Structure 1
């Protein structure tokens, strides 16, 4: 069966565009292909389900991917240059940085390095579920501790559940799916009290979306003085590179070596590393994207308030919204109207997580919402 080039790209999306070296692919075609990573699929539904960057990577990054496409027949030779850049950026040594296939790989590596039969993971509930799944796969016990009434991590309760068998405690800050913050001073106090042999994995995937906050600060400086702390970062969110899978861990040298032993061989691809390097340099695009997100988030809250809906105050690129209906009902209605929303949250059955799209996409979201739950203005 003959498949045209246009049909081919429509079927495979950005992933194949990013990994196939096609000499005839000009910059316009590549940019069009990369649009598949944005919130709305060409000719398909609006995607508001995976907390992707609705605005995509910067034009400079798209150009860099185009320039590097001809090298995609080669395996990457080393991650050291990129790790050196990240180390310089964060004021740590190169042997404290481990480049990975997204921050999700950091979570898998940590589970395999520090968990197993007889070990325990203590994590909040709800939170990003990936680490819990990896912990169970490793044969470890998973202890889930409900969030506080303000949706912060209940660190005293997590501490009560941590003992000598606890290999990892997980702190996702801002938390996914609530978008809520846990103050740094509370985390600092928690770290002083956790058992000596327990590592703390702090997931900062949404760090760049926080903005000015008197209570929040990154922990990227902490592994310098505390070898128990591992910080995970990603290029999937603010940098708009979810489809290229680039992330990294910052940890003490001995911990970083142990994590690296669990890393996939030849994992991070050439295009991902090239794109990530250019994305780091384009600080203006990061600033503009963060500002757009703040505006989009505030407009979402305004629209929710107009409808007398409860939305949890978010410091990320998504909002958790109370619908008053079971989430499966909400997801199905929106799917029938060509909008894909976030996952089910077992402990919050009447909430739906909405990733922030562009203003036009969010206008369509609210139009469909008003079909689902009519309201009086």
Structure 2
């Protein structure tokens, strides 16, 4: 493929990004993970602490959400061999190794990868408030938090967040369940059904004509005006990042149960849809903690919204937007419609992520139709961004490929039908 670049200084790479062309950039600033781990602002101990907190909350989750039987919010991994054959046929390339799908679209409560970071941060905030007010200790059975006296206590506090959709669902659903007042600031890219679902849970939804950056900035501003308000900051939150990182370290046990070996001779390639960067960044960090340089993580972004790619290739991180590259930040992948990447995630990933590739919207729908036809698996269009990865790296020997499904299980039936019909229409027009 002639759209693969190994230097951030390549003028042709910059030109193609500005022209909304599909590219693959191999991170030329990546270092051996063990060499830079001590320099990063988040440690392995931080992730283990986050996992322990989630274990403490398991009795509460089990009581309030009976569908989560063990109280641990986690998703399965499926091998998608039919989809692999379809990709091989459509792209005339043999994909060496197995192809797996990490089903974060099936994460309980919020139905997307955002259930990891979003729910974790809200739970941590609730724990902190309860402990500071002598209503809880870490030795307690956290199921007591479902009692009315706790809900009444938490109702004195507000949780706010800016979002294009899925983070709003995770924050809104869990916060309302705990008892917080919840305000969600949503950009124009957010789907109407997500707004309606949030309102049905008692969440106040504030809509903006601008993009994600406008929603998050306004939300941050309003939250600062209320001393009892807590803002979940998707651009800078360490706690969101840690919630996602827990998902990364859990993969090791899941793959072991599937008899999948990951070592120097059996590399793991993971493809993660990327918006602001917190969720793929956290997952990548967790994976690197357990597999080191034997796991290779690539972010996937829409050609019109390559916020992370622009941030890393320029070295300007959160100081640059896709609009500075002349891009319009308009994409059907609503969860990825982000103009400016996370300050924390860009700085964490600069020497860690293996690369970034971009994908056109129409290809998302091609993958959507193939997934429904071959595996009977529906995902949101944005969740298919990573499916181009196995094509790029099809020649890697003894490789295990994993596409990360970021959301889709809460999508209404009429929306699923509309997406499939759009995929049919796009294929007929080709």
TM over 0.5, yes or no?
no
**TM-score, normalized by length of structure 1?**
0.32
Answer 1 or 2: which has greater helix percent.
Answer: 2
